[in-house]
Structure 1
Amino acid sequence: MNQATTSAAPSTGSSHWLRWANLAFMLYLLLLAVSLVSTGFKISTGNHAKELFAFASHPIAGLMIGMVATALIQSSSTVTSIIVGLVAGGLPVGIAIPMIMGANIGTTVTNTIVSLGHIRNKEEFKRAFASATIHDFFNLLAVAIFLPLEMMFGILAKTSQWLVSPFLATGNLSMKSLDFIGPLTKPVAAAIKEPLLVFGNQVGGAILIALGVLMLFISITVMGKLMKSLMVGRAREILKSAIGRGPLHGIFSGSVVTVLVQSSSTTTSLMVPLVGSGVLKIRDVYPFTVGANIGTCITALLAATAVSGEFAVFALQIALVHLVFNIFATILIFGVPFLREIPLKGSDYISDMAIKNKSVVFGYLASVFIVIPAAVLTFT
């Protein structure tokens, strides 16, 4: 018995370290993927990036593109990392900002799907659906406030530009002084790029972008699974200690848990069954859910360290836009009592409608994530 126990221990330990090694490799794959996307975009568009995205130059259209892309992929981290890569390849920051905002809204579909697990019990479903949609209403409110402000005054663009101004002031747009990742990813990216150029710049660049996006999706998905297996126990401990200890503690804990599990969808989906079963109250998990928005920004910031070249500083800027937007939205909405109550009232109202008529759930998902975006894109 003792021999079996002692022989099992090393294998468990080695399995633990193997998962950490896999996590490190997936992080490298993520950084390499962003480098491929930016390189492919540069090659395929030349100096015509702005013209290529002219259709998305309207802020509302950009918002819808970010929202639909995230709703389809179900990972705001993947979409924001792709946007970072595109900006590094020449996509203007002004066009990318609404896309980043849209990514925040699109990631909330998962919560609503999780809430359907409680659909057989009316009371449980009301609580679960309200818990799922409070994230939607907060993110929709944040965009409703900050997109018009951005269109009028450029608040996020100016704040993020101020944050990267040390690089702009020195003219060091490529951030070579902080380029720790480039030497690791450049040789591999170059080795992948060279054979593809035989197809020509446009086709070769497009293949490179597609390969980068695929690698991004795989790396972030596997990273999320590995982080869950390594950290979910710790995340649950933080969750238990955070609930009911005030908004600031909840927001901070939600951010930390999301960084640990590398997925805001996972963080917010953890809440839904707990609220549905009555273990937690919606008002208690609300700040925790909002903190997930801030925690998920870490992936785009990591992705920004992988790019180099003349637009590298703008890749960092758009990653900072994501962070600044979520911090500003949290401060404003939680700082003003009237605004703080809107997501709670909105989720309570729609959950009341949902228990009276289950088709409201599907109508809500279809209208917010399919019908409205399609109509807006058509008219803009």
Structure 2
Amino acid sequence: MFLFLLAIDFIGYSFRLLNKDIAESIINLTSNPFISLFIGLLITAIIQSSSTSTSMIVAIVASGSIEFSDAIPMIMGANIGTTLTSTLVSLSFITNRDEFRKAIGAGVVHDFFNILLVAILFPLEYNYGILTNLSSAASNFILGADYVVQDNEFRYFLLTKPIVIFIGNLLPYPIILAISSFVILALAVKFLAQTLYKSITGGSREFLQKYFFGSPYRSFFWGVVFTAGVQSSSVTTSVIVPFVATRKISLKQCFTFIMGANIGTTITALIAALFKSEAAVSIALVHLFFNLIGVLIFLPFPIIRSIPVKMAKSFGRLAMKFRLAGFIYIIVTFFLVPFALISFNREDRSDSKQMEKIEEIRKEPQNRPDSLI
């Protein structure tokens, strides 16, 4: 578990070394909700921690730099960005065609679920403010009118951060750190999966199927419990990938477990947020309602529940035929498209500001010296 968290922290550290100012330079571009969505996705993919990216958003909302409603699309994007970890883990099975097909399906089913959920909730939030209203009402009910905002900060990776900084100073090469981190991540997840499988089931596939994945609601329940226990959805959703790859559980069972993991991770964040600021509580509630609505839409209805599973299976077959498809999917979905859209939006805003200045100069020539006219 420690090696897993260390690898996650190293991946985020190595990406930040590549461009230290990228998160700070793009996080305030929130005038366009669609761009805000991709900002949350890109930042979480770079940092490799939805908790850290969420805390950054909370700090900016609390400072008054952006409105709470403007930050909600960023939270949606962060939900997609955090699924990168399990997709990265699935690439470690690339040497075995059949295992890779199942692993990549287990990795991307989480992506597809969140992408479909964003496609449903983003228009509702944009037009009706459904998540804004729900979270604001719940926050006022939980905290009350007399709640005093506390000036606290989120702190994560208290154990791994000193090690990461020490090694990062000794070896300040982000590419080497990123590659090494991925190797450690893959090894840690495989070892953790094997250990959990043997310790929980005694090596019995039948025991695992009967007591943990016997029904969709049972696997959903254990997804909530395990994730709330280890306080990291990245751990549970990544550990489940080797289970699917080695045929211990099916992709359908994996998907309902992942839905439970999404709820489990929001419970931990919500408890932690109660001791922070009002903005932290509201952000945690947005995360909770986002995933809870997704569960209510997909879990009770087998036909709807099968949609992301079928999409993941199709992509798994494609990745089995073309091994580079997995790498291309990660680069395009998590980095290329978000970064291109954000960069284009920044240039467009810069051009518009220049045009505004030119118009001001044209309209008010009498206010300047004759030498400038």
| TM-score normalized by the length of structure 2 | 0.68
Partner SS, residue 123 of structure 1? helix
Correspondence 1:60-79 to 2 at 5 A = 60-79=34-53
Q: Are residue 327 (structure 1) and residue 292 (structure 2) matched?
A: yes
Pairing partner for 1:369 from 334, 338, 345: 334
Matched residue pairs, number? 285
What letter corresponds to residue 369 of structure 1 in structure 2?
A: F
Q: Show CA shifts across 1:262-316 (max 9, x none).
A: 2111101111111111111111111001111111113432442343xxxx32331
Q: 1:110 to 1:167 in 2, by over 3 A?
A: closer
User: 1:69–1:263: structure 2 CA closer, same or farther, 3 Å change rule?
Assistant: same
Q: Superposition pairs for residues 241-252 of structure 1, below 5 Å?
A: 243-252=212-221
Report deviation, 1:125: 0.8
Shift of 1:167: 6.7
Residue 315 in structure 1 maps to residue 275 in structure 2: no
Please report how far the alpha carbon of residue 242 of structure 1 lies from its aligned counterpart in structure 2 after TM superposition. Answer: 5.0
Counterpart in the other structure of 1:115:
90
Alpha-carbon contact 1:259-1:295 (below 8 Å) kept? yes
Change (3 A) 1:236 1:364: farther
1:56 correspondence with 2:30: yes
Look up the SS of the partner of 1:280 in the other structure: coil
- 1:173/1:379 CA distance change after superposition, 3 Å: farther
CA shift at 1:126, angstroms?
0.6
Distance (Å, rounded) in 2 between the aligned partners of 1:325 and 1:133: 19
What displacement does 1:341 show?
A: 1.6
- Determine the structure 1 residue equivalent to 2:156: 216
Distance 1:356 1:299 in 2: 40
Say whether the 8 Å CA contact 1:243–1:284 is kept in structure 2.
Answer: no
- The equivalent of 2:126 in structure 1 is 151
Partners of 2:223 and 2:260 within 8 A in 1: yes
Say if 2:289 is the partner of 1:289. no
Greater helix fraction, Structure 1 or Structure 2 = 1
Q: Identity of aligned pairs, percent?
A: 39
Query: Greater CA deviation, 120-129 or 89-98?
Result: 89-98
- Structure 1 residues 349 and 80 mapped into 2: Cα distance closer, same or farther (>3 Å)? same
**Do structure 1's residue 277 and structure 2's residue 217 form an aligned pair?**
no
Matching residue of 1:38: none
- Opposite residue 156 of structure 2, the aligned amino acid is L
Aligned-partner residue type, residue 266 of structure 2:
C
Whole-angstrom distance in 2 between the partners of 1:269 and 1:234: 14
Q: Secondary structure at the match of 2:29?
A: helix
Q: Does 1:258 align with 2:223?
A: no
- SS of 2:146's equivalent in the other structure is coil
Moved more, 232-241 or 92-101: 232-241
Listed one character per residue, the Cα deviations across residues 85-131 of structure 1 (whole Å, up to 9, x for unaligned) are: 33333242111111111111111111122112221111111111111
Amino acid at match of 1:138: F
Change (3 A) 1:325 1:293: same
| Aligned counterparts, 1:150-189, within 5 A | 150-166=125-141, 171-174=145-148
Cross-structure match for 2:110: 135
The partner residue of 2:77 within 71, 79, 102 is 102
Structure 1 residues 107 and 221: CA distance shift in structure 2, 3 A: farther
Q: Which has the higher contact order (CA 8 A, sep 6+)?
A: 1
Separation (CA, whole Å) in 2 of partners of 1:235 and 1:154: 47
TM-score, normalising length from structure 1? Answer: 0.67
Residue ranges of structure 1 left out of the alignment (5+ in a row): 1-18, 20-51, 176-181, 190-211
Give the direction of change, closer, same or farther, for the CA distance of 1:146–1:298 in structure 2 (3 Å limit): same
Change (3 A) 1:242 1:365: farther
Q: How does 1:2-41 map to 2 (within 5 A)?
A: none
1:197 corresponds in structure 2 to none
Q: Any gaps of 5 or more consecutive residues in structure 2?
A: 3-25, 163-187, 202-206, 346-373
Q: Is the 8 A contact 1:80 1:300 kept in 2?
A: no
Label 1:220 to 1:257 Cα distance change in 2 as closer, same or farther (>3 A).
farther
Match of 1:301 in 2: 270
SS of residue in 1 equivalent to 2:148: coil
CA distance in 2, matches of 1:54, 1:371: 19
**Equivalent residue letter for 2:37:** L
Displacement of 1:365 after TM fit?
0.5
Checking the alignment, whether the CA contact within 8 Å between 2:252 and 2:306 is kept in structure 1 is: no
* CA displacement, residues 326-363 of structure 1 (integer Å, 9 cap, x when unaligned): 00111112234443122111111111111111111111
Change (3 A) 1:54 1:83: closer
Aligned counterpart in structure 2 of residue 356 of structure 1, from 312, 321, 338 = 321
Change (3 A) 1:220 1:288: farther
Residues 143-179 of structure 1, C-alpha deviations (whole Å, 9 max, x = no match): 11111111011111111122123378x642526xxxx
